[in-house]
Structure 1
Amino acid sequence: MRLNNTYYKMRTQIITMKTLLSLLSTLVVLNLSAQEAGVIKLTQNKLHARVREWPYPVGGTIVSSNAPALMWPATNGKEMVLPMESGSEVPQDPGIADIQYKVILARDSKFTKNVIASDPQAWAVYPLHQALATGRWYWQYAYRKKGNDNWTWSPVYDFVIDAKTQGQQVSPPVREVLARNEAAHPRLWGMHARGQAFYENNLNNPEAHSFIAYAKKLMLEPLPEEKPMRIIDSTGKTALEKKKIIEAMYHGFGDAVGTPISNLCIAYRLTKDERFLRDAKRRALNIAQMDPNGLATGDDFTSGAVLEALGWFYDAGYHILTAEEKTLFQQIIRLRAKRVYDHLPNRFELHVSDNHIWQITMRNLTIATVAVMGDVPEAKEWLSYLYEIWSARFPVLGTTDGGWHEGNGYFKVNYKSIIYLSQLFADLSGVDYYQLPWMKNLPFYLLYTHPPASATTAYGDMWENTPFMTRQQGLFADAFAYRAENPYLNWYVATIKKDNPEYFTRPSDDYLFYRLLNYNPTRKLPQQSPRHLPKLRNFADVGVAAIHSNLADTKKDLSSYLMSNPFGSSGHGSASQNAITVNFKGKTIFGGSGYYGNFSDQHNLLYYRTSRAYSTILVDSLSQKIGEEGYGWIPRTLSGERIQYALGDASNAYGPIESSFWLNRFDQLGIDPNNTGVYGDVNVTKYRRHMIQLEDEIIVLYDELEAKQPIKWTTQFHAPYYEMRTIPSTDNKVQNFEVLTEVGHAMASVFAAVPIGMKIHNKFSEPAVNWANVKDVNGNIKEFKDQWHCGVTSIAVKKMRYLTVIQIKEGKPQLITGTKSNDGQTVLRIGSWQIIAQLDGSKNARLQIRDSSSVFDYGSDKAIDFAGKKYIRKQRGSTLLIDGFKGKTRQYEAVDVLPDVVKYDTVK
């Protein structure tokens, strides 16, 4: 059924400045629940807006930088607007292209002391390229229509610079960056100053020799033609499917015709042999003649790749070009660059992530812009904008913890830009971007979420492309290690090279030039095994708690992941708050399910992207909402020797879809999401999932669930690679099932205080069809096979508790039975462990797990008797862990801790 343009009626989401100011004055950063000690209840509609809706930093926030970037919502000159990202079917408000902003900053609210004022600019972000003194600062921004002398000023906002931030590196202002780029050609990668050293340094580099031999063969290849990379039958497809099929037919064309040009330019730099450069010229002239409006190089990816290749050659081959040829290249680069840039200011910088730009096109545009600085008049503005956005927003889908919001399937699409833009902007600014907190933590994110010889977290788009270590992951980690100076990352790379030497034997790959730039024949890479790292690491900014029993040896490792994401399910994320993934010996036992055939076909929107595809909770069979509004977070973690603990909160994840972006996607398919049986609102008020991994390959889940009316609660488990089987139960409050794998036997037992039923099957609720001939990481067309699913569903109740015990053994696990204690609690025994859980939703939640050397306790404020001693909580309402190891007993506690986005950047 059509939406009757419901989306188009609400898509503008225009809010007057008066309304915005009212919101800012009445909303608070967080709301604390007075009912439960130690518990924080967030009530914001969203934590990360898809498009910026409030200024930052405001309300006296103590910022984490000594030179923060000031940001504010976009306007069309009359009211706040929420512009869509590039490629959207929704037309852009034309007014946003005619706006100018300026900023003023001072130590007092009257703006008389230590005043900093910007020049007029076209974009809604202002990075402070100078260290601010400790204390309170005041700021405001103004806007006007171009050609209008009247500025409209915002209210005065304030923030605080912490003394702890003093001494942080600060990026230089734009004028210095532009001045650095006034060198003669070649200027890309600092080659005007670095070129001779690059040549001499690689004279005896074996990899350089291998690449030069490869480049000699490359010169013998014929010039490419404008034709599809592959043919896909579109018979009987819808108009939208045909459009996507045409894109797929030409996908990769830009790289196929552009990469040989940059490779030949690199070979020239390594040899000073102009034969390479002249063949690069021949190829560059060929693609310069290609139709910028044609199917081959007309979309953002293919055109961007051509743009970058032309920039490479124009810079490297400047001295062999005639005046006419220079003019031709300038015209073509300007044409393709303007198509990208003209849709960026007052739009791109405001998005949580305009994926295609950040993944690829920003790199393409930056390289081309640097190449034509001084020759194309607009390039100065382009570079100013690109540098400011990089300074303000990188890393766009992380903050400081090293994580990436969209999961590791799509993180890989960003790898090349992360590497090369960090290098390029470092060359231009002198800033070492590898010293950013996010960069310093990234090695641990790689290690904990994608260990060597292992699958990854099974979350987000294209997760199914990573059921093992991949070549792209290994190559990125290897390149990253050149500058990261992290011994654990060095161990990670060395282990991948040992396990998969074939990943590193090709004469050319995406990171070859980066390795050549940073080649040092005498470099030493000290390695440190992760054996003694904590078994749990919480990447709270992106909502991933990663637990490992043996991080140093995948063949002995049981790893579990709890996902609960403050970003919600924006971009390539999923509605999978409080979902779990369980890997054993590198294989995914429980995780996501389904296939990424397209960003928004029916399988994607009605299954793959929804909670139905993940090991989390459905409510009356309904998914969590997709969009930034359906968020979760990880309030608590504890890490001992024998017990690891993480708590996820998805209380805000449920309800009808609100995101206009996603409603438009449904509208394109002619679907009303509220009539699909997949989305809707049943007034969920609480979903807190406790995940505990115990020594002895045991994982315990304890779910606290509440709604305003009785509903049926379904806890789901998916085995994407293995078969599930029912284990009969004589108790209607207990359900058991098993998964048989080549690495071990998994058994799960689900307990409740009310009757529960179980269904195991191997069919998707929305069929998966590879209509676009999507390929796997090895280039083979993927077969969308059936997968196994288990759902355990309760009778309708307002308050529900689930206790799930998962055992994964090389042998057969024991079948668990439960008993009731005198106060109605369920008591289980598994090996040496005793589990006591309150499953009655009408009573206070309680979970205790203990054996002779460790105790985990949640939900009690009483003293814990353990090993002849009483242990008293230091914080009321905390989760308590008493860990005995090698004769020492340690006490750990955790209460709810906010993610950084709530501390620093939520509506005040």
Structure 2
Amino acid sequence: MNAQVTMKLNDVTLMHEMRATPSPLNKAVVSDRSVSLQWPLPSYVNTMENLLDGIKSENEMVDKTKLRYQVRYSKDPNMRQNVTTVSTLWPFHNPGKPLDTGVWYWQYGYVNDAKTDWSQVLQFTVKENPNKFCPPSLKKVLKNLPTYHPRVWVMKNEWTDFMQQSKSAPEYQWYIERAEKVIKTPMYSINQIDTSNIGGLENAVKRNAMLVRESRNIIDREEANTEVLIRAYLLTQNKRYSDEAMKRITEMISWSGNKNVAGDFNTATILSLCSMAYDSFYNQLSDSQKKMLLNEIKIMGGDFYRQFNNHLENHIADNHVWQMTLRIFTMAAFSVYGELPEADTWVDYCYNVWLARFPGLNKDGGWHNGDSYFHVNIRTLIEVPYFYSRISGFDFFTDPWYKGSAMYVIYQQPPFSKSAGNGSSHRKIIKPNGVRVGYADALARLTGNTFAADYLRRISEKQPDILKEAFMAKPGDLSWFRLQCHKSLPQGKGLNELPLGYVFPETGIATFMSDWHSIKRNAMFSFRSSPYASTSHALANQNAFNTFYNGRPLFYSSGHHISFTDEHSVYCHRATRAHNTILVNGMGQRIGTEGYGWIPRYYVSDKIGYLVGDASNAYGEVISPLWLERGKQSKLEYSPTNGWDKNHLKTFRRHVVELGNAGIMFIYDELEADTSVIWSYLLHTAVNKMEVTKEKEYVRIRATNGMGASDAYLFSPDQLKTEQTDQFFYPAVNWLRADDKGYFAPLENHWHFTATSPARKVYRFATIINTHQKDVPDAIPQILQNGLIKVGSWEIKANISSEGKASFSVKNAKENVSLIYDDATIIQEGGKQTKLKDRLPELEI
């Protein structure tokens, strides 16, 4: 292959569980935001912390409070003139003001016994950009932080106006009605935590998972009850609400030593309520109450800081922290700043780690953990920067990440549609819920994004109570934000004016649509090939796709997310066998960041869409220390029997072409191994059995669901062996989630289709997928005498032989558009030629 066009990566991983490279990388160019200097932790620091809730690595930990660093930077390559040197507690530094344009040089150093071990000198270039995101330093922010209380959920000097303005908002009545109901409702008891089913579970991870779940069932409910009382007090200054809240908080503080209170979310609950009460009730609390709340904040805040310090800032995705606990810790830190000495460090850390790493984990606005776990981050993504905006006067939502995030919300789950199908628990995201729609509403108001505004309007027109559905949802309710923010929804371009496709290259996901005007007639295709691989809540589904019609899934990933690391969840939901991709000798992709894919090229227009996903490095034995440890704790075996073995794959590039707006996709698979292997082409459905028919030229596989159908025409150079089953590799047993009556509802089976090739070293599949209304005749591909395949007004030519170069072409003479792939990808559209070659996404960790 031409190295200038097609890149063959040899990296074991593109991303790391913990930072392994400095940022900015050497010779990097920075133009979109202020520079943040970041570097890896010392090599001797153990990063195998908090593998699962309550489960710790057996390795000894370094005292992270004693870690010290230095960083220096200058425009002098010899680092002698005009050098800025800074000592830090953490492996990052945000310069106090934006760096001037030009070439800069920098070093980071590890301080040991007053001696600094410096890195090599690194270089980066700062480019001019009038729209560059340059938030203020913490020093400037703190100048505006009030010394009075309340100052977090409402400002004391704005309180009277806030109460008056809120009375006309529907959210006001929601809080008052719920608070009145809570006052009449007895408090939950810690003794109501149900531990009766825990003893029968076979390992500590499962027992801990159930204990966390059962304790949260009680504590989350009481947290919601108490929080709504605090909010009602802030809306009315009625002491009935604050008195009842303090009574409940005092009782909950006594729960913290109970052996059945497990998990960091439960600890964060107490911290959240204590800090909210301290700030909100400050002017009526007794000295003893203030002392009690400050003591609890000091203890729990200190525990969280010790966890985050010299860990979070280097972590690829510390799920619980970024979902909720950092937000809670941030609000607590600012609540007691100036009154608790430790809060000086906490505030410094919270603010600067946000500037360094947040709000997203990459540049494109996508969420690598998938839609279910994206929703858990909503309050953090809005409330933290909104708080910083309020106290600083700087608009944190000018961060360019939020523009991409709006596109993620819309393209990964259009109105009234199933989510694109990535990440743990994706099956539960049936249609946009109140949390997601509330986030779109906030983005529209804060950024002026008219597409997000239209998203909200379309959904709320048919579901007028959609925002209320999210009321008091722990991770995602933005009702209080809407009471604070009085910006109106913007008018302008709506969803109909969006392109038919969107690619998120850093996240490694893409979506193609056929019709923004009517979702009922929309054929949607989602795809994933991601540098994040299958770590965190991401799945081992590199180069996998899903299809949808009328917002409902057709060919779709299978399996159930029961818990993070139980047998079914790993073998049949996370593992590659669960997804619409390829197995090599029956083996799948690695678990961990080593099982990565990426999207080297893409092109989007309304006449043609294109991308290629590269999963050439995704397969092989599981080698991630983190996931090997998790497997050990959960009694999992990453063995050939379960789908992991030595790697024989050399190349797996999956090309995807959207043929206009007809709902027709063309897929071309380039496959090569270092020896003859069996190639298994996988398709799944979650509802109906697939219809499979073998024709002379192809195998036809049909998926149906409600109004829609997806017909896949699979072309290959050999007669394929096909089979279909409704049985999982490992049974789906609901051992964790019981209803209020203690009933563990059974989990349904899914359908799994496999087309298996003879053993070949080189192989090529070509697939035409037509997704359409079920009762409308399918556009069946026609095989022409010259070897062309005609489908609709498109002509396709593809080399599916094992001989010769991998190549294909698609052409639509009527629309004057064509695409030719032969190492390079050349697209002709409207008299304009575009040549695509591989390009690495910008990755940080």
Same fold (TM > 0.5): yes
Instruction: After superposing the two structures, state which structure 1 stretch, 714-723 or 591-600, moved more.
Output: 714-723
1:222 equivalent among 186, 190, 207: 186
- Per-residue CA deviations over 1:532-568 (Å, capped at 9, x if unaligned) read 2211111111111211111232111111112111111
1:704 aligns with 2:673: no
Instruction: Kindly indicate whether residue 265 of structure 2 is the aligned counterpart of residue 301 of structure 1.
Output: yes
Q: Tell me if the contact between 2:554 and 2:704 (Cα under 8 Å) persists in the aligned partners.
A: no
The equivalent residue for 1:94 is: 62
Q: Give 1:109's aligned residue.
A: 77
Structure 1 range deviating more: 475-484 or 340-349: 475-484
Cα distance, 1:65 vs structure 2: 4.2
**TM-score normalised over the length of structure 2:** 0.94
2:280 equivalent to 1:316? yes
Partners of 1:316 and 1:553 in 2: CA distance? 47
The answer for the alignment partner of 2:691 in structure 1 is 725
TM-score, with normalisation over the residues of structure 1?
A: 0.87
1:333 alignment counterpart: 297
Give the aligned partner of residue 16 of structure 2.
Answer: 49
- Tell me which of 447, 457, 460 is aligned to 1:484: 447
Q: Could you list the runs of 5+ residues in structure 2 that have no partner in the other structure?
A: none
Matches of 2:370 and 2:763, distance apart in 1 = 30
Give the alignment partner of residue 460 of structure 2, picking from 497, 500, 514: 497
Kindly indicate whether the alpha-carbon contact (under 8 Å) linking 1:640 and 1:883 is maintained by their aligned counterparts in 2.
Answer: no
State the partner residue of 1:573: 538
SS at match of 1:803: strand
Aligned pair 1:143/2:105, yes or no? no
Could you give the per-residue CA deviations for residues 750-807 of structure 1, whole angstroms, max 9, x where no partner exists? 111133211111111121111102689xx99654101111111111111110011112
For residues 254 and 314 of structure 2, the distance between their equivalents in structure 1, rounded to whole angstroms, comes to: 35
Structure 2 match to 1:673: 638
Q: Within 1, Cα distance between the matches of 2:670 and 2:470? A: 54
Matched, 1:616 2:581: yes
* Partner Cα distance (2:467, 2:527) in 1: 32
2:175 matches 1:211: yes
Is 1:859 the equivalent of 2:801? no
Paired AA for residue 68 in structure 2: Q
2:89 matched to 1:122?
yes
**Does 2:604 align with 1:639?**
yes
Partner residue of 1:592 out of 546, 553, 557: 557
Q: CA deviation at 1:195?
A: 2.2
The aligned counterpart of 1:843 is 804
Identity of aligned residues (%): 28
Tell me the distance in 1 between the aligned counterparts of 2:302 and 2:803: 62
| Cα contact 1:129–1:171 (8 A) shared by 2 | no
Name the CA distance, whole Å, in 2 between partners of 1:540 and 1:569. 16
Distance 1:835 1:230, change over 3 A: farther
Which string of whole-angstrom CA distances, capped at 9 and with x for unpartnered residues, describes residues 397-437 of structure 1?
Answer: 3x222211111121111112112112223234433221111
1:202 is the counterpart of 2:166: yes
- Tell me, in whole angstroms, the C-alpha distance in 1 between the residues paired with 2:51 and 2:192: 24
Q: Return the alpha-carbon distance in structure 1 between the equivalents of residues 615 and 469 of structure 2.
A: 45
CA–CA separation in structure 1 for the residues paired with 2:301 and 2:731: 40
Partner of 1:465: 428
Partner of 2:438: 475
Using the alignment, how far apart are the partners of 1:100 and 1:693 within structure 2? Answer: 52
Distance 2:207 2:552 in 1: 36
Distance 1:506 1:827 in 2: 52
Q: Could you tell me whether the CA contact under 8 Å between 1:879 and 1:893 is conserved in 2?
A: yes
- The match for 2:42 is 75
Question: Is 2:841 the counterpart of 1:899?
Answer: yes
**2:318 equivalent in structure 1:** 354
Q: Which moved more, 1:357-366 or 1:691-700?
A: 691-700
- Whether the aligned pair in 1 keeps the contact of 2:522 and 2:551 (CA below 8 Å) is yes
SS of 2:430 mapped into structure 1? coil
Aligned residues: 832
Match of 1:29 in 2: none
Match for 1:60 among 27, 37, 59?
27
| Equivalent of 2:825 in 869, 879, 883 | 879
| Cα deviation, residue 83, structure 1 | 4.5
Tell me whether 621-630 or 472-481 shows the greater mean CA deviation.
Answer: 472-481
Tell me: CA distance 1:141–1:178, structure 2 relative to 1, closer, same or farther (3 Å).
Answer: same
Distance 1:199 1:829 in 2: 66
Q: Which moved more, 1:719-728 or 1:425-434?
A: 425-434
Partner residue of 1:564 out of 509, 529, 532: 529
- Between 1:238-247 and 1:660-669, the stretch displaced more is 238-247
Summarize deviations over 1:638-694 as a string: whole Å, max 9, x none: 223332222111111112112111111211133431343411123211111111222
The 5 A counterparts of 1:137-176 are: 137-145=104-112, 148-163=113-128, 165=129, 168-176=132-140
Query: Once the 2 structures are TM-superposed, how far is the Cα of residue 365 of structure 1 from its aligned partner?
Result: 1.1
| In structure 2, C-alpha distance between the alignment counterparts of 1:818 and 1:519, rounded to whole Å | 60
CA distance in 2, matches of 1:548, 1:814: 18
- Cα gap change, 1:193/1:391 in structure 2, threshold over 3 Å: closer, same or farther? farther
Shift of 1:506: 5.8
In the other structure, the counterpart of 1:30 is none
Residue type of the alignment partner of 1:431:
F
Q: Per-residue CA shift, 1:433-489, capped at 9, x if unaligned?
A: 211111022111111110001011111101011132323222332333331311111
Distance 2:33 2:451 in 1: 29
SS of equivalent residue, structure 1 residue 188: coil
1:194-216 per-position Cα deviation (integer Å, ceiling 9, x unaligned): 32332232243343244323323
Residue equivalent to 1:545: 510
Pick closer, same or farther for the CA change 1:85–1:107 going to 2, 3 Å.
farther
2:764 is the counterpart of 1:797 = no
Root-mean-square deviation (CA, aligned residues, Å) is 2.4
Q: In the alignment, what sits opposite 2:794?
A: 833
Q: 1:58 and 1:852, CA in 2 relative to 1: closer, same or farther beyond 3 A? A: closer
Contact 1:682 1:709 in 2 (8 A): no
Is 1:187 aligned to residue 151 of structure 2? Answer: yes
User: Matches of residues 645-664 of structure 1 in structure 2 within 5 Å?
Assistant: 645-664=610-629
Task: Tell me the SS of whatever aligns to 2:626.
Answer: helix
SS in 1 for 2:190: coil
Given that residues 264 and 280 in structure 1 are in contact (C-alpha distance below 8 angstroms), is that contact kept between their aligned partners in structure 2?
A: yes
Within a 5 Å distance, the mapping from 1:690-769 to structure 2 comes to: 690-694=655-659, 695-729=661-695, 731=696, 734-769=698-733
Q: CA deviation digits over 1:489-510, x for unaligned, max 9?
A: 1100011112322323469432
Partner amino acid, structure 1, of 2:265 = F
Query: Do structure 1's residue 392 and structure 2's residue 392 form an aligned pair?
Result: no
Cα 1:173–1:331 shift into 2, 3 Å: same
In the alignment, which of 685, 689, 695 is matched to residue 650 of structure 2? 685
Separation in 2, partners of 1:774, 1:712: 41
Does structure 2 retain, via aligned residues, the 8 Å contact 1:757–1:793? Answer: yes
* C-alpha distance in 1 between matches for 2:765 and 2:208: 45
Letter in 2 for 1:852: A
SS of the aligned residue for 1:686 comes to strand
**Contact map agreement 2:51 2:626 (CA 8 A) in 1:** no
Contact 1:641 1:883 in 2 (8 A): no
Task: Kindly indicate whether the alpha-carbon contact (under 8 Å) linking 1:490 and 1:528 is maintained by their aligned counterparts in 2.
Answer: no
